[in-house]
Amino acid sequence: MRAPAIPRSANSCVAASMMRWYVAAPRAVRTARPCLAPLQRRDLRPDDLAVRVDYCGVCHTDLHALGGHDGDAPLVPGHEFTGVVTETGPAVTRFSAGDPVAIGNIVDSCGQCPMCRAGQENFCHAFPTLTYGGTDRQDGTTTLGGYSREYVVRDRFAYPLPAGLGHLAVKLAVALGADTSVISRSPGKADDERRLGAQALIVSTDPAQMAEARDRFDVVIDTISAPHDVGPYLRLVAMDGTLSHLGDLGPVTVETMDLLVGRKKLSSAGSGGRPGTEAMLAFCAEKGVTADIELLPSARVNEALDRLRRNDVRYRFVLGMSDLD
């Protein structure tokens, strides 16, 4: 399947030879092996930015998207990336060429519903437009993500970059002043967790340690990416506390008694709205909170995906896109 050719003006900032990593057909999906192909982005609308993508995170969401892709349209993963503005539409005032920016997993919303007006575009009643695999609200084309050298995005969904989950949750909790512990299946992570700032490591496969930590935490953030029993983690939550279930988004079975005893709450969350995202980035810059990554050139994308499937990464793969020039 050929990439969709979206015409661009002669003076547009992206040449037809712009490259991206994509999956086009179910056969490729079965092995989740993205291929290199040309990409043409749309011409800039008045409130658009053209962003040269420098670095793109590799996420478990990308693996899920690759595994579920039906081949009806090309799939370009990547919904967490940073880069530099190369061109702006005539109505843009927040950014100029040369500004560093970050793009997340939402690139548009209706802008009119109560959630959008409250700055919670992530809960848009008409559903937000996702960075890849979404539908453009103006021309109906499929959005193509950040495994590419350029992205075109509405300026209100780009974020100034003054400076990813798992280890960043630890760093952010420590920076916020919380007494922070890490729950892990492996005792071998103790040195890593101390380096991140955590005060303790609780080994979830050790019944004695789990029993000792019962009813201890105001908030437990569950980032396990596979289906699992949430009961043991609810029992770690203190009275009136919350287990925030973020990793696996499939069905969850809960024993009501695990909630009743202690008036505990089970919650979940995805991305934040624009004001919250900007505040988070500013806080990270102020406190020096950065992600621990392994940087690979984009040509090694399949290696990154294969290793991510095996959990062979500490803590986040990032693809460098300069090799697509």
Which residue from 279, 304, 284 is spatially nearest to 293, judged by alpha carbons? 304
pLDDT digits (tens, 9 = 90+) for 169-193: 888 888 889 899 989 887 776 777 7
Please write the tens of the pLDDT for every residue from 286-318: 888 888 889 999 999 999 999 998 888 877 899
Please state, in angstroms and rounded to a whole number, the distance separating the CA atoms of residues 309 and 322: 25
Residue 166: the pLDDT is 64
Task: Judge whether residue 10 has pLDDT over 90.
Answer: no
pTM of structure: 0.71
- Please state the three-class secondary structure of 194-242 as a single string: HHHCCCEEEECCCHHHHHHCCCCEEEEEECCCCCCCCHHHHCCEEEEEE
Q: Are strands 81-88 and 100-103 parallel, antiparallel or unpaired?
A: antiparallel
Q: Tell me if residue 45 falls in helix, strand or coil.
A: coil
Give me the mean pLDDT over the 44-67 stretch.
94
pLDDT digits (tens, 9 = 90+) for 190-209: 777 788 888 889 999 899 99
Phi and psi, residue 255, nearest 5°: -75, 120
Distance CA 164, CA 202 (A): 23
On whether the CB atoms of residues 155 and 94 are closer than 8 A, the answer is yes
- The CA distance from 281 to 293, in Å, is 17
Q: What is the pLDDT of residues 129-138, one digit of tens each?
A: 999 999 999 9
Between 1-5, 69-73, 92-96, 123-127, the lowest mean confidence (pLDDT) is in 1-5
The mean-pLDDT minimum among 68-77, 86-95, 98-107, 314-323 falls in 68-77
pLDDT digits (tens, 9 = 90+) for 217-260: 999 999 887 789 999 999 999 999 999 998 887 888 999 999 99
What SS3 class is residue 21? strand
Q: What's the rounded Cα separation, in Å, for the pair 161 and 214?
A: 40
Phi-psi region for residue 212, left (φ > 0), alpha (ψ -120 to 50) or beta? alpha
Cβ atoms within 10 Å of 107's Cβ, excluding its own:
25
pLDDT for residue 31: 57
pLDDT tens sequence across 236-245: 999 999 999 9
C-alpha distance across the termini of the chain, in Å: 23
- Among 55-59, 66-70, 101-105, 299-303, the range scoring the smallest mean pLDDT is 66-70
pLDDT value for 2: 29
